[in-house]
Chains A and B, each alone.
Chain A
Amino acid sequence: MDGGLGDGFTIEEFRRLRDAIQRNREAIEREKAEEIARSTEEFREESRSYSDKANTIREEGRQIAAQIDETKTELAKIEKLQKETKLLADKIKLSPQVEQLTKKLSELSQKNDRLLKDFRFYQKLAKDKQEETLDEESAAGKFDKNHQERVALLKAKLQQREPRIDVNIEVRCPGNSPHLSTHDSQLRATRQGAEIERGVFAAKLLQELHGYLNDARYSPTMCRLLRIDSLAPDSKSLWMVGVLLCLDSRNEIRILCAASGKNVKSNSAKWCPLVKNFTNFCNNDGSKTLSIDKMQEICLEQRLTRREITAQQIKTEQETIKQLGKCAAPKMLSQAASGGLIPFQMAESGFCPSSEGSHGKLYNSCDYCKFGLGFWLDGLPAKQRTAGNPASVIEKGETELFPKAA
């Protein structure tokens, strides 16, 4: 066989195969090289990125290092502050001692002042005593030496005479005076009444009554004790409660109570009812009846005469004066007049539990009552009165108070 190699590759074929293999190898190697190159490139790339990262990290590291430095500085500062704070804390711990010492110093200073005063006193005493000894003869007969007995006597007298109550109690009564009368007989009776002081005693009683009324709002027993049938429920409106002290025919003290409007309902004579007319007082035409209308008319006349109001104001005043007789004062004065009692002290206070400012405060008589009080207390002008009651002899400079019916 030519070439003789059976059915195998021909040289040509082989060459072609070898070439193909060679080409294949070359291709593979090329691929490998390319891959290596690519890998190398990738590695380089990766390396570069690592390098960048390292740079970044290094930068971060630098920053952290800087932060550490800063923190260290801060820490150092804090430590320093801590040390300083500790010192301050120690100082603060000392402050109670300083306070104590200051207090002690103040006490000692006060004591020193006192001792100095005492020293001066005894120094003067010694000097004066020496001088007095020199003039013993004249001094001996001058003073009674049993002073303790004299003081005990003084104390006993004053205890009988003066009550243990404040001088400056705010007493508001009609006419801005705690007195309704200073008639000698009444004053004597007042003195006999132990601790009764003009006006003040009525105010004190009123304060007590006020307290009881407060309790009575919740207690039927209290109401029963106070002789009240019913008491106005709590409301925001202010009403008045009053106390009037009177003397009866036996010169004994009687206490009348009243509340304005219909806030306290009672059938007891101790609580004065609403004034329907002023028959018990006086009359300017001689008759014994004086209606509310007539009373209002007289009040207006009086105010006009005294020039407290002008003729133009009468219309307004007529409206206002319709309230006359609803307050505590006229109720009590009317009741006193009808019972033949002589009033000598009065006080009125506000009742309004929801208002601390007004509740329990002592008040002057209201504008309406001021119209009538002059009349209720002083009576009518002498000319009018004597015309209706010729038996009554009124001297010049005198006014009759609550004249009795002829």
Chain B
Amino acid sequence: MIIRDAQKEELQKNAEDDFEIDIVNFLQSDIVADLEPGLLRLMVRVGIARARSYDLTWRYSISMFVSLMFMFAPNFDEHPVINERLTNPIAERNELIDSVADSTTSKEWEETRIVYDGAAWGEAAELLPESWRAKWTGA
């Protein structure tokens, strides 16, 4: 079995870095094709922090949250109905993302897309290409 130097370097990265990279890879292959990986990773980091503000800790739940940010709007969680589902005090925090995915209607998703707020991407917002900025500037 051969192990390459590049792979050895990979060995040194911690779990958090790997998680970010895994999400970036997933997004690139399935959702976002037109963003440079460095910028995408910055956005993913913002997304992970936003997901964690809802006490999400699982790889699955955080990945799902971040993917939804890319798929619809970075502030999709501000939609009153979705926000209520995400902050349901009775259910287990990480399970709530399933409730969002299962119960939110196409109309509600469309509404989140309409009120797209690019500022939610934080520092990455300024670096986004025009095609992305048009999503919230309407330009």
In the bound assembly, the distance between CA atoms of A403 and B68 in angstroms comes to 45
Q: How many residues belonging to B are interface residues under a CB distance threshold of 8 Å?
A: 51
Choose from B5, B16, B18, B63 the contact partner of A198 (Cβ within 8 Å).
B18
Closest A residue to B113 using CB positions: A143
B113:A168 contact, CB within 8 angstroms: no
A182:B57 contact, CB within 8 angstroms: no
In the bound assembly, the distance between CA atoms of A402 and B94 in angstroms comes to 41
With a CB–CB cut-off of 8 A, which chain B residues contact A124? 115
A14 within 8 A of partner (CB): no
- Overall SS of chain B's interface: helix
With a CB–CB cut-off of 8 A, which chain A residues contact B105? 148
B residues 98-134 in Cβ contact with A at 8 Å: 98, 101-102, 104-106, 109-111, 113-115
With a CB–CB cut-off of 8 A, which chain B residues contact A151? 68, 71, 101, 104, 109
Q: Give the contact-size bracket for chain A.
A: 35 or more
- Which of B6, B14, B60, B111 counts the most chain A CB atoms within 10 A? B60
Q: Please judge, given known A-B contacts A164-B58, A165-B58, A199-B15, whether A145 and B7 are in contact too, CB under 8 Å.
A: no
Choose from B3, B63, B80, B110 the contact partner of A399 (Cβ within 8 Å).
B3
B106:A145 contact, CB within 8 angstroms: yes
A154:B10 contact, CB within 8 angstroms: no
With a CB–CB cut-off of 8 A, which chain A residues contact B67? 154, 158
Choose from A121, A128, A149, A167 the contact partner of B80 (Cβ within 8 Å).
A121
A residues 381-406 in Cβ contact with B at 8 Å: 394, 397-403
A346 within 8 A of partner (CB): no
Query: Chain B 53-97 against A: per-residue CB contact (8 Å), 1 yes, 0 no?
Result: 000011111111001100110000011100100000000001000
B138 within 8 A of partner (CB): yes
**Which of A171-179, A215-223, A350-358 touches B?**
A171-179
In the bound assembly, the distance between CA atoms of A125 and B58 in angstroms comes to 31
In the bound assembly, the distance between CA atoms of A198 and B63 in angstroms comes to 17
Choose from B59, B72, B113 the contact partner of A165 (Cβ within 8 Å).
B59
In the bound assembly, the distance between CA atoms of A346 and B12 in angstroms comes to 15
In the bound assembly, the distance between CA atoms of A155 and B64 in angstroms comes to 7
In the bound assembly, the distance between CA atoms of A293 and B65 in angstroms comes to 54
With a CB–CB cut-off of 8 A, which chain B residues contact A121? 78-80, 115
Choose from A125, A183, A197, A397 the contact partner of B59 (Cβ within 8 Å).
A197
B residues 20-64 in Cβ contact with A at 8 Å: 22, 26, 30-31, 57-64
B3:A183 contact, CB within 8 angstroms: yes
The distance from the CB of A311 to the nearest CB of chain B, in whole angstroms, is 28
B5:A397 contact, CB within 8 angstroms: yes
In the bound assembly, the distance between CA atoms of A199 and B115 in angstroms comes to 40
A-B contact pairs, 8 of them (CB 8 A): A128-B114, A152-B101, A152-B102, A154-B31, A154-B67, A159-B60, A171-B15, A401-B3
Q: Which are the 3 A-B pairs with shortest beta-carbon distances?
A: A147-B109, A118-B80, A162-B60
